[in-house]
């Protein structure tokens, strides 16, 4: 009892904990309710996903229903369909390798040491070329595989990478045009950006897939996949341009004026002084936008591509596995979650790192 | 520097660059239009908006007012737009309420509640919306057949849908009643935010707004009573008749799956915005309120919430516009929203460009008016001396 009157120490922490958890009747109710819900969810997941679950490729509907829990057999049997879609079975090692390449590219661009236009551009372009060569084949003795047969995780990653690699330069261009000193150019670009931003991404993908062929001369039509990619990149660019513009607004006017006074040209001012600072300010929002872009790759299911989600849908839509939809979706969700959660945690880490030294209030 | 002096003149560059930019864009549009025209001509399609008055010949699986295959395209488009707005309103309302709860849990002091809020947000925010939608839809379809419906409180649920007890009135009546309620609500918002009433005493302003809402509700009640056929019973309960359900009011799996998906996903984002809003309220404000002797309830409702709300609103506007756009995912499960009606119309009539134009116009209209209303609200509630951070 005497110890509890001393400030600090273990008992003070205990007292604070007691106040937070059981300080008032309302707090007690909240604590009990929340704890009960968390415990129930945890127990349900453990019970369903592990204790009563069926593992191994030999499980069938009967054995799974008899156990009463999750039926992971569907994953054990159909995982290659979920991950690689209808890519030729003997060639699926190329899909797997392509995924690793993209993973390496993403990891490399997360290292602060790589943050210069030249290095990032090199890594991403090189990564895309290797990915494309692996997937498409036709050279180096690889069997050619048509884009129509691409599917699963590699397709999802390809859309993500291509959206970034086309969308980012486009976004920089749009952002620069929008802050142009010529009012007509700035105004018109603003209208274009606002219009794209107020349209749903799905309608843009749909237009690119179905309507664009009418409007293009024959030699420009190309594969549906690339048209859809262009649409996704355009949408990404419209949002990213606004983020970069936010970054521009955070830079003191003196920076550009000083550069001008030193006699730097427009290109030098923009690419050496303004853009690097704008990107630094816009970094958290940019990573957030990449996270959203990753999640939105799944929308191309609607225009008929077999990316991860659609491949998962086909995995349980055969008669024998029809009951096991939850297991397949949990498996896909885990893949998405790993990517998205990792990226957004990284964004939060960067934000905290950047705030060191100039903390507000 | 070589060349004639006018090339170096600023005014000259100014004019040529801007004119060149606009001309380039116009040329691009012109080239696309001309190509499209020749391509359509070879397929024997004519352009123009006459098709709007032709009957569609296909069915719409969900609409607020009755539709038949003989209805013209413009009616279908209108119904699709109404579906989108209806789903959007439901989704926004649901996401706001649930998001407020989650955000409050996240910004409270109780660690257990905070953990629960964090789990919710991390799960729902880090998975693609369409994946969540597919999951809910698969779950709705995996429910037992009508013969083995699950019953709760007068309602039934099975693989065919959710059957709720319904009022015995026609859809036209319901539409009128809802319209009346909305007019009342709109009037109230106008009275509360319009600059014209700035000098009216707040208490009087609030009273007029309350009266407007009441009048709208009474109007709705009158419409319902007038529209009800006296020969019928007031309420119809769903019940099993042979192999199917009779009576009641059926909500399709497509509809409630999409509503659940948008609500839960939106709530995760709204929750984070709410938390950010509460975080932005200075500790000094609350301490000052406590020093003045306000009760904790009053500190929350009169100081913390209003200040936090002002910080949230600009970001919420963007999130709401995003959520309205998310209703287009209905096409993935077969809910007839505006986008799905457009897509099926293109398939059936081939009038591609007209429909894409209507689609763009529709979404620009919805999003710009939503942003305009909310920005107006944002300006109306902004504190004097603070910067208004409005955005489209």
DSSP code per residue over A221-277: H--HHHHHHHHHHHHHHHHHHHHHHHHHHTS-HHHHHHHHHTT--HHHIIIIIIHHH
Query: pLDDT band at residue A45, thresholds of 50, 70 and 90?
Result: confident
**Pairing mode, if any, of strands B155-158 and B150-152?**
antiparallel
**Residue B387: inside a domain, yes or no?**
no
Closest approach of B136 to chain A, Cα-based (Å)? 10
What is the rounded distance in angstroms from the CA atom of residue A169 to the CA atom of residue A160?
15
User: Which of B17, B105, B332 faces A301 most closely, judged by CB atoms?
Assistant: B332
| pLDDT of residue A357 exceeding 80 | no
Give the residue numbers spanning the domain of B13.
5-44
Is the domain of B40 the same as that of B79?
no
Is the domain of B23 the same as that of B100?
no
**In sequence order, which residues have a C-beta less than 8 Å from that of residue B20 and are 6 or more positions away?**
none
User: Which of A41, A183, A214 faces B36 most closely, judged by CB atoms?
Assistant: A214
Q: Give me the residues of chain B with pLDDT under 70, please.
A: 1-8, 45-47, 194-200, 242-243, 383-392
Closest approach of A44 to chain B, Cα-based (Å)? 15
User: A-chain residues within 8 Å CB-CB of B128?
Assistant: 295-296, 298, 309, 336
Q: Are B356 and A231 in contact (CB under 8 A)?
A: no
The verdict on A327 touching B (C-beta cutoff 8 Å) is no
User: Which of B33, B122, B346 faces A341 most closely, judged by CB atoms?
Assistant: B122
CATH node for A73-355: 1.10.3720.10
Closest approach of B179 to chain A, Cα-based (Å)? 26
Residue A150's alpha-carbon distances to A80, A295, A301, A307, in angstroms, are: 13, 19, 13, 8
User: A-chain residues within 8 Å CB-CB of B116?
Assistant: 34, 37-38
Which residue's structure tokens are 């997941």? A45
User: Which of B18, B33, B112 faces A35 most closely, judged by CB atoms?
Assistant: B112
**Nearest Cα residue in chain B from A304:** B332
> DSSP class of residue B311?
H
Greater pLDDT, A284 or A7 = A284
User: B-chain residues within 8 Å CB-CB of A341?
Assistant: 122, 126
> DSSP class of residue B301?
I
What is the rounded distance in angstroms from the CA atom of residue B1 to the CA atom of residue A272?
25
Per-residue pLDDT of B111-121, as tens digits, reads 888 899 999 99
Is the domain of B302 the same as that of B344?
yes
Nearest alpha carbon to residue B78 among B326, B329, B342: B342
Q: Are A217 and B35 in contact (CB under 8 A)?
A: yes
Domain range list for chain A? 3-51, 73-355
Tokens of B270: 């709204």
**Pairing mode, if any, of strands B235-236 and B161-164?**
unpaired
Is the domain of B267 the same as that of B325?
yes
Closest approach of A143 to chain B, Cα-based (Å)? 33
**Residue B297: inside a domain, yes or no?**
yes
Is the domain of B263 the same as that of B375?
yes
DSSP three-state, residue A134:
helix
Q: What is the pLDDT at residue B268?
A: 92
What is the rounded distance in angstroms from the CA atom of residue B47 to the CA atom of residue B38?
11
The DSSP line for A49-66 is: IIIT-B-STT--HHHHHH
Nearest alpha carbon to residue A200 among B370, B130, B326, B85: B326
Q: Are A243 and A285 in contact (CB under 8 A)?
A: yes
Cβ contact A200–B325 (<8 Å): yes
Is the domain of B347 the same as that of B286?
yes
What is the rounded distance in angstroms from the CA atom of residue B319 to the CA atom of residue B199?
32
**Residue B343: inside a domain, yes or no?**
yes
Cβ contact B122–A299 (<8 Å): no
Tokens of A317: 């839509």
C-alpha torsion sign, points A76, A78, A82, A86 = positive
Region class of A60: left (phi > 0), else alpha (psi between -120 and 50), else beta: beta
What is the rounded distance in angstroms from the CA atom of residue B113 to the CA atom of residue B198?
41
Closest approach of B160 to chain A, Cα-based (Å)? 17
The residues in A 210-249 lying below 8 A from B, measured between CB atoms, are 210-211, 214-217
C-alpha torsion sign, points A245, A246, A249, A252 = negative
- Total domains present in chain B: 2
**Residue B200: inside a domain, yes or no?**
no
> From the candidates A34, A35, A38, which should be mutated to test the interface with B, based on the most B CB atoms within 10 A?
A34
The residues in A 188-207 lying below 8 A from B, measured between CB atoms, are 188, 194-195, 198-203, 206-207
> From the candidates B84, B126, B297, which should be mutated to test the interface with A, based on the most A CB atoms within 10 A?
B126
**Nearest Cα residue in chain A from B392:** A194
**Residue B66: inside a domain, yes or no?**
no
C-alpha torsion sign, points A55, A61, A62, A64 = positive
Closest approach of B228 to chain A, Cα-based (Å)? 40
Q: Are B77 and B358 in contact (CB under 8 A)?
A: yes
User: A-chain residues within 8 Å CB-CB of B368?
Assistant: 198
Q: How many CB pairs under 8 A join A and B?
A: 145
Nearest alpha carbon to residue A176 among A247, A236, A232, A231: A247
The verdict on A296 touching B (C-beta cutoff 8 Å) is yes
- ipTM associated with this complex: 0.85
Closest approach of A145 to chain B, Cα-based (Å)? 28
Q: Residue A223, exposed/middle/buried by CB under 10 A (0-12, 13-18, 19+)?
A: exposed
Cβ contact B33–A201 (<8 Å): no
**In sequence order, which residues have a C-beta less than 8 Å from that of residue B93 and are 6 or more positions away?**
none
Against a cut of 0.90, is the pTM above it?
A: no
Tokens of A179: 């802050």
Closest approach of A333 to chain B, Cα-based (Å)? 6
* Distance, CA of A118 to chain centre: 23
User: Which of B36, B116, B359 faces A215 most closely, judged by CB atoms?
Assistant: B36
Closest approach of B21 to chain A, Cα-based (Å)? 7
Tokens of A165: 């690699």
Cβ contact A214–B331 (<8 Å): no
Which residue's structure tokens are 């429909």? B355
What is the rounded distance in angstroms from the CA atom of residue B389 to the CA atom of residue B313?
9
Is the domain of B279 the same as that of B376?
yes
What is the rounded distance in angstroms from the CA atom of residue B192 to the CA atom of residue B380?
9
Q: What is the pLDDT at residue B262?
A: 93
Query: pLDDT band at residue A121, thresholds of 50, 70 and 90?
Result: confident
Q: What is the pLDDT at residue B129?
A: 92
CATH code for the domain of B269: 1.10.3720.10
Q: What are phi and psi of B55, to 5 degrees?
A: -80, 155
Q: Are A226 and A256 in contact (CB under 8 A)?
A: no
The residues in A 110-149 lying below 8 A from B, measured between CB atoms, are none
User: Which of B108, B142, B352 faces A214 most closely, judged by CB atoms?
Assistant: B352
**Nearest Cα residue in chain B from A328:** B135
Cβ contact B360–A302 (<8 Å): no
Q: What is the pLDDT at residue B199?
A: 67
User: Averaged over A113-120, what is the pLDDT?
Assistant: 79
User: B-chain residues within 8 Å CB-CB of A21?
Assistant: 110-112
| pLDDT of residue A333 exceeding 80 | yes
> DSSP class of residue B200?
S
**Nearest Cα residue in chain B from A199:** B363
**Pairing mode, if any, of strands B150-152 and B239-241?**
unpaired
| pLDDT of residue A258 exceeding 80 | yes
Cβ contact B36–A332 (<8 Å): no
Q: Are B259 and B94 in contact (CB under 8 A)?
A: yes
Which residue's structure tokens are 């843009």? A204
What is the rounded distance in angstroms from the CA atom of residue B329 to the CA atom of residue A200?
9
**Nearest Cα residue in chain B from A193:** B392
Q: What is the pLDDT at residue B200?
A: 66
Q: Are B307 and B285 in contact (CB under 8 A)?
A: yes
DSSP three-state, residue B250:
strand
Is the domain of B289 the same as that of B370?
yes
């Amino acid at each position: 009892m005497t110890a509890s009157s001393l400030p600090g120490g273990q008992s003070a922490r205990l007292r604070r904990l007691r106040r937070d958890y059981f300080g008032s009747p309302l707090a007690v109710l909240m604590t009990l309710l929340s704890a009960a819900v968390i415990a129930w969810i945890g127990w349900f997941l453990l019970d369903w996903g592990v204790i009563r679950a069926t593992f191994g490729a030999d499980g069938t509907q009967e054995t799974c229903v008899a156990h009463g829990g999750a039926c992971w057999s569907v994953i054990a049997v159909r995982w290659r369909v979920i991950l690689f879609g209808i890519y030729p079975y003997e060639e699926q090692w190329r899909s797997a390798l392509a995924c690793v390449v993209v993973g390496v590219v993403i990891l490399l661009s997360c290292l602060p040491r790589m943050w210069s236009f030249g290095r990032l551009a090199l890594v991403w372009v090189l990564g895309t070329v290797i990915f494309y060569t692996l997937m498409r084949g036709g050279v180096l003795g690889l069997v050619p595989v048509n884009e129509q047969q691409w599917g699963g995780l590699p397709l999802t990653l390809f859309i993500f990478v291509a959206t970034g690699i086309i969308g980012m330069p486009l976004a920089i261009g749009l952002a620069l045009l929008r802050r142009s000193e010529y009012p007509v150019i700035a105004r018109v670009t603003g209208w274009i950006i606002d219009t794209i931003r107020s349209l749903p991404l799905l309608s843009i993908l749909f237009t690119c897939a179905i309507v664009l062929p009418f409007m293009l001369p024959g030699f420009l039509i190309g594969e549906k996949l690339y048209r859809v990619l262009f649409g996704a990149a355009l949408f990404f660019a419209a949002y990213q341009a606004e983020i970069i513009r936010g970054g521009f607004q955070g830079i003191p006017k003196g920076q550009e004026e000083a550069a001008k006074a030193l006699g730097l040209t427009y290109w030098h001012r923009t690419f050496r002084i303004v853009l690097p600072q704008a990107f630094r300010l816009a970094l958290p929002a940019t990573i957030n936008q990449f996270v959203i872009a990753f999640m939105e790759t799944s929308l191309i299911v609607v225009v008929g591509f077999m990316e991860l989600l659609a491949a998962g849908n086909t995995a349980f839509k055969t008669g024998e596995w029809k009951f096991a939809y939850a297991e397949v979706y949990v498996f896909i969700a885990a893949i998405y979650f790993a990517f998205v959660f990792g990226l957004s945690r990284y964004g939060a880490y960067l934000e905290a790192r950047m705030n060191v030294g100039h903390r507000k209030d | 520097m070589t060349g004639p002096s006018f090339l170096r003149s600023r005014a000259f560059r100014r004019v040529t660059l801007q004119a060149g930019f606009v001309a380039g864009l116009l040329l691009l549009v012109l080239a696309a239009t001309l190509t499209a025209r020749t391509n359509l001509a070879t397929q024997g399609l004519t352009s123009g908006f006459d098709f709007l008055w032709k009957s569609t010949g296909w069915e719409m699986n969900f609409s607020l007012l009755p539709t038949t295959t003989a209805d013209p395209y413009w009616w279908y488009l209108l119904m699709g737009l109404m579906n989108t707005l209806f789903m959007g309103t439901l989704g926004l309302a649901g996401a706001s309420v649930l998001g407020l709860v989650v955000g409050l849990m996240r910004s409270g002091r109780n660690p257990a509640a905070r953990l629960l809020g964090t789990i919710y947000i991390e799960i729902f925010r880090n998975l693609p919306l369409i994946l969540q939608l597919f999951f809910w839809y698969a779950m709705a379809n995996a429910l037992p057949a009508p013969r083995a419906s699950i019953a709760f409180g007068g309602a039934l649920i099975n693989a065919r849908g959710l059957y709720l007890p319904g009022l015995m009135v026609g859809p036209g009546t319901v539409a009128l009643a809802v319209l009346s309620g909305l007019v009342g609500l709109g009037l109230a918002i106008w009275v509360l935010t319009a600059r014209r009433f700035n000098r009216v005493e707040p208490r009087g302003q609030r009273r007029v707004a309350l009266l407007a809402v009441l009048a709208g509700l009474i109007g709705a009640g009158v419409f319902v009573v007038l529209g009800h056929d006296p020969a019928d019973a007031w309420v119809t309960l769903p019940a099993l008749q042979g192999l199917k359900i009779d009576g009641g009011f059926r909500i399709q799996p497509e509809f409630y799956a999409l509503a659940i998906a948008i609500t839960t996903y939106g709530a995760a984002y709204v929750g984070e915005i709410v938390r950010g809003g509460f975080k932005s309220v200075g500790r000094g404000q609350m301490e000052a309120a406590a020093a003045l002797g306000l009760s904790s309830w009053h500190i929350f409702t009169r100081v913390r919430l209003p200040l936090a709300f002002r910080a949230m609103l600009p970001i919420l506007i963007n999130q709401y516009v995003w959520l309205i756009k998310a209703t287009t995912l209905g096409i993935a499960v077969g809910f007839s929203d505006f986008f799905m009606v457009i897509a099926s119309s293109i398939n059936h009539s081939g009038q591609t460009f007209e429909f894409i134009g209507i689609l763009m116009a529709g979404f620009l209209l919805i999003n710009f008016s939503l942003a305009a209303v909310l920005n107006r609200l944002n300006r109306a509630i902004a504190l004097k001396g603070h910067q208004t951070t409005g955005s489209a």
